[in-house]
Structure 1
Amino acid sequence: MVDTATAILVLVRVLVLLLGVLITYYSLQAYRRTGTPYMRNATLGFGIITVGVFLEGVLFEFAGLDLAVVHIVESVAIGLGFLVLLHSLRQ
């Protein structure tokens, strides 16, 4: 049986994943409309962050990795995504 805290965590993570997918999608649409390199980079940055959120859930739920390890994986992906976004904004 799943406890309440775990159920809430899964729900919140799924919502964050869905938001990440939507942001990445709309960012891609903006890039296609404008064709500007900074929008391409923003799409890539948002995509990397979204993949990190997805990987954390998959690695924890299905691969059985330790919670600390999956948080590290997610944090690295978020950091890389933020670096790409920073580069995009500095252009």
Structure 2
Amino acid sequence: MVHSTSSFEVQLAIAIVKTSILLVGGVVTYLAFSAYRRTADRSIGLLAIGFGLIVVGVLLAGLTFELLGSNLGIGILIESLFVLSGLSIIAYSLRAR
């Protein structure tokens, strides 16, 4: 598999999309946490944690690549691990009684 360098336009588009995911995900996490505080329902609290992990994964992926200058693959791996963890907790929260 051949990897090439992305153009500036593609890098800018990725940065815009990732920032949008961070903002929208932050709002969803805040709303889920607010619902948890109102209801004290454990499953909603787990839902908030799951969304929070996904948002943190996006943030850490960007930080490791842009600020720390690490390999893009490392950033993708970090993000994927957080997304997997977050989705697992979301799935569990939807099954919790």
Q: Over the residues paired in the alignment, what is the CA RMSD in angstroms? A: 1.0
Look up the match of 2:10.
5
Unmatched segments (≥5 aa) in structure 1: none
Report runs of 4+ in structure 1 exceeding 4 Å deviation: none
Unmatched segments (≥5 aa) in structure 2: 1-6
Q: TM-score, normalised by structure 1?
A: 0.95
Look up the equivalent residue of 1:42 and give its one-letter code.
L
How far is 1:8 from its partner?
Answer: 1.1
> Which of 54, 62, 82 is the equivalent residue of 2:59?
54
Tell which structure's C-alpha radius of gyration is larger.
Answer: 2
* SS of 1:65 mapped into structure 2: coil
Task: Give the aligned length.
Answer: 90
How far is 1:6 from its partner?
Answer: 1.1
Look up the match of 2:32.
27
Q: TM-score, normalised by structure 2?
A: 0.89
Q: Percent identity?
A: 33
